[in-house]
């Protein structure tokens, strides 16, 4: 049986190698056997300050990366969140059923609030930051997905989504919402920051040295990997606790080459860090160069790219609209 898989990516920055290895490459594998809905969360992107031009550019660039990485527009539905109005409509209904306390308790909200305060020296926190998880819950619940692939940093948001679904089911109509399940790919390693390998590699990282972007050229990759944190042992072994930097490099290598960590370890046994880094630079560049070429092709024909996104939105809307109508009926908004 085909499973419905739904995931979103916020259009706040440029996509990273972590996005590719942790998410996109997995979607490519999932797309043939399942029904995929992947959207670019441009409404989530405006919960933090972002320039108009950057937001629009990011949105198209991300779409082009997805297709260039092998997401097939003929089998997967890729769309832009703001093109399917049902997301915001359902999010309002969920908002009316969520509590201030539970939203304030979200660790991402607390982190982002801290960051906003530090950066702007202000105590004014945009409400969008607080209600971010209710929009995410709407994104998910509209589609009744079987699986929601997200990183572990999104687990709390997914738990809240379940809570909201159960709350509305109890209040209005059992089975109104399907309870979503998080999906973490097996055998996929968490790709970490190059300078602080205890943190995940994040596209919203302020320091570009922490991150390999999908758009990085050979020189940039070389510079970043050469400066990546290791340790002074010069022994290539996987040990996240004691050797987070080297372990991260091994994980990157293993993920790209489809090797197990043990295979990667034995390949590098008796080699030094300089050899490890040189190999990784080549491996990353060989992966990214052809993808970059394809991405440029997609970007150079914007009209066709937009058409693909609109087709995706149309397919998504069929499902989202019927769910929203059901919800509106169940709560009495649909009065006719
Ligand atoms: N918040 C998610 C992230 O930062 C992106 C996202 C938004 C999402 N809506 C979603 C992921 C719905 C899965 C399902 O990674």
Could you give the strand order of the β-sheet that contains 35-41, starting from the edge strand earlier in sequence? 4-10, 35-41, 77-80
Could you name the CATH architecture of 3-184+301-331?
3-Layer(aba) Sandwich (3.40)
Digit-by-digit pLDDT tens for the chain (336 residues) are: 899 999 999 999 899 999 999 999 999 999 999 999 999 999 999 998 899 999 999 999 999 999 999 999 999 999 999 999 999 999 999 999 999 999 999 999 999 988 888 877 767 889 999 999 999 999 999 999 999 999 888 999 999 999 999 999 999 998 999 999 888 776 578 899 999 999 999 988 889 999 999 999 999 999 999 999 999 999 999 999 999 999 999 999 999 999 999 999 999 999 999 999 999 999 999 999 999 999 999 999 999 999 999 999 999 999 999 999 999 999 999 888
As a whole number of angstroms, the distance between CA 292 and CA 220 comes to 14
In the chain, list all ranges with CATH 1.10.240.10: 208-296
Quote the ligand 1 centre to 139 CA distance (angstroms).
8
Q: Is 121 marked within a binding site? A: no
208-296: CATH number: 1.10.240.10
Residues near 235 by beta carbon (within 8 Å), at least 6 away in sequence? none
The dihedrals phi and psi of 6, each to the nearest 5 degrees, come to -130, 130
Quote the ligand 1 centre to 314 CA distance (angstroms).
20
Ligand 1 pocket residue status of 160, Cβ below 6 Å? no
296 is written with which tokens? 């440029």
Instruction: Specify whether the CB–CB gap between 185 and 26 falls below 8 A.
Output: yes
DSSP result, 206-262: S-GGG--BTT--HHHHHHHHHHS---SS-----BTTTBHHHHHHHHHHHHHHT--HH
In the chain, list all ranges with CATH 3.40.50.620: 3-184+301-331
As a whole number of angstroms, the distance between CA 329 and CA 326 comes to 5
User: Nearest 10 degrees: CA dihedral of 122, 124, 130, 131?
Assistant: -140
């Amino acid at each position: 049986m085909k499973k419905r898989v739904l995931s979103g990516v916020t259009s706040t920055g440029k996509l990273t190698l972590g996005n590719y290895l942790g998410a996109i490459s997995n979607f490519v594998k999932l797309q043939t056997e399942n029904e995929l809905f992947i959207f670019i969360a441009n409404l989530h992107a405006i919960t933090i300050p972002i320039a108009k031009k950057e937001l629009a550019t990011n949105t198209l660039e991300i779409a082009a990366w997805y297709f260039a990485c092998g997401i097939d527009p003929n089998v997967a539905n890729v769309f832009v969140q703001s093109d399917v109005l049902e997301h915001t409509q359902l999010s309002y209904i969920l908002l009316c059923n969520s509590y201030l306390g539970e939203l304030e308790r979200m660790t991402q909200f607390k982190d982002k609030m801290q960051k906003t305060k530090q950066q702007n020296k202000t105590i004014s926190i945009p409400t969008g930051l607080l209600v971010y998880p209710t929009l995410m819950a709407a994104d998910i619940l509209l589609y009744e997905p079987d699986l929601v692939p997200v990183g572990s940093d999104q687990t709390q948001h997914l738990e809240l989504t379940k809570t909201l679904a159960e709350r509305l089911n109890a209040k209005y109509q059992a089975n109104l919402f399907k309870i979503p399940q998080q999906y973490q790919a097996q055998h996929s390693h968490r790709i970490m920051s190059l300078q602080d390998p205890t943190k995940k590699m994040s596209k919203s990282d302020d320091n570009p040295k922490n991150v390999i972007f999908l758009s990085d050229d050979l020189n940039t990759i070389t510079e970043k990997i050469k400066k990546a944190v290791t340790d002074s042992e010069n022994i290539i072994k996987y040990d996240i606790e004691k050797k987070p930097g080297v372990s991260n490099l091994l994980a990157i290598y293993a993920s790209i080459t489809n090797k197990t960590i043990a295979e990667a370890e034995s390949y590098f046994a008796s080699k030094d860090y300089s050899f490890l880094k040189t190999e990784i630079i080549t491996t990353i560049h060989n992966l990214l160069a052809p993808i970059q070429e394809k991405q440029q092709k997609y970007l150079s024909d914007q009209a066709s790219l937009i058409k693909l996104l609109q087709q995706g939105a149309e397919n998504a809307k069929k499902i989202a609209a019927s769910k929203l109508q059901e919800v509106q009926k169940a709560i009495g908004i649909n009065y006719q």
